[in-house]
Amino acid sequence: QVQLQQWGAGLLKPSETLSLTCAVYGGSLTGYYWTWIRQPPGKGLEWIGEINYSGKTKYNPSLKSRVTISVDTSQNQFSLSLNSVTAADTAVYYCARISRSVPYLWGQGTLVTVSS
């Protein structure tokens, strides 16, 4: 049974870089697209971007200048980097596998808080 497990720093200061990793267990990265989605506390969902196993990416233009999604097939992981964070980036960040063209299998979520 495929599972996604994600981790990364939960507390950042303004201007720092958010870094999260999502590991795929029980299956392979190959052949799928993978995505990051975030949800500010008490608010709705925002698509951040996606990547496939070969490293092809798409980003939300609202974040494009600050975001990088990368893949490491040798480790069966993919990662999210968001630089120059502000309080507006405080959110629960989810990784997910795309199947049938939309997110299906999700990680557990990581709360990232940006505060001085």
Which pairing describes strands 77-82 and 67-72: parallel, antiparallel, or unpaired? antiparallel
Q: How far is the CB of 88 from other proteins (least distance, A)?
A: 17
CA-only gyration radius of the chain, Å: 13
- Is 58 or 66 the residue whose CB approaches other proteins more closely? 58
Task: Compute the least distance from the CB of residue 28 to other proteins, in Å.
Answer: 21
For the bound state, the minimum distance from the C-beta of residue 109 to other proteins, rounded and expressed in Å, comes to 6
Note the residues at the interface with other proteins (CB under 8 A).
Answer: 44-47, 58-62, 94, 96, 100-104, 106-109
Closest CA to 1 of 109, 93, 97: 97
